[in-house]
Amino acid sequence: MRRMTDPPPDRPPPPSGDRPPDAIARRLAEAPSARYARQSPDVGGPARVRPASRRPTVQAIVVAAVGAGLLFLLGGLLSTTVGLLFIAAAMGGGVGLALAGLAVAGPSDESVGAGPAPISRAAVRRWAIALALAAVVVAALMTWLFARSEGGVLGIVDYLWSTFGLLVPAEAALAVVGAAWGAGAGPVSGS
């Protein structure tokens, strides 16, 4: 492979003599892309990689639980639909943003070795979507159980359809969109 600084093999040097002396090497010590390569493990042994941090996972679970609780509070206890779509979208976005922290490498700790290994964005997006959908389903289930405890006799699908119509599927759709956006937009950090 010919480099840009090497003259073509079939071309003679210019007649003016404008060429660098052979003693001056015009090549970089290493390729510019080498700075993005992962560091090789120390000679003493392979670097230990800790599993991904639990903090983003716990934060995402808390956001999903709070979102499910708010959906149940408004839809079940207060019997209103005002704000349900906003809460579902915000909860999905919060879950995605919290889980996006898993897609970046954590800080390195010299005593342990390398920092937490990053997870691919696609995997983070799938987990965020699954957690946001689970929160919407749990909220709908809690709403139905509460209505049933007050004397309702309809099945879960019949109750949710007759009470909320397309609102529950719309909540699920907005939670999915929010989670996908948050997982792709994050992480939000002070670094």
pLDDT of residue 74: 93
Euclidean distance between CA atoms 50 and 47, whole angstroms:
10
DSSP per-residue letters across the chain: ---TTSPPTTSPPPTT--S--TTS--S-SS-GGGGGSPPPPPTTSPPPBPPPPSHHHHHHHHHHHHHHHHHHIIIIIS---TTHHHHHHHHHHHHHHHHGGGGSPPPPBTTTBB-PPP--HHHHHHHHHHHHHHHHHHHHHHHHHHHHHTT--S-HHHHHHHHHTTHHHHHHHHHHHHHHHHHHH------
Q: Say if residue 95's pLDDT is above 60.
A: yes
pLDDT for residue 43 is more than 50: no
Residue 66 predicted with pLDDT over 90: yes
Determine the pLDDT at residue 130. Answer: 96
Is the pLDDT assigned to residue 191 strictly greater than 50? Answer: no
Instruction: Return the domain boundaries, the chain.
Output: 57-102+118-185
Q: pLDDT tens digits for 152-180?
A: 778 999 999 998 999 999 999 999 999 99
Looking at per-residue pLDDT, the higher value among 85 and 103 belongs to 85
- Residue 46 pLDDT > 80: no
Instruction: Provide the pLDDT confidence category of residue 131 given band limits of 50, 70 and 90.
Output: very high
- 69-90 tens-digit pLDDT: 999 999 989 988 899 999 999 9
Q: How far apart are CA 123 and CA 142, in angstroms?
A: 28
In sequence order, the β-bridge partners of residue 114 are 49
Q: What is the mean pLDDT of residues 9-20?
A: 62
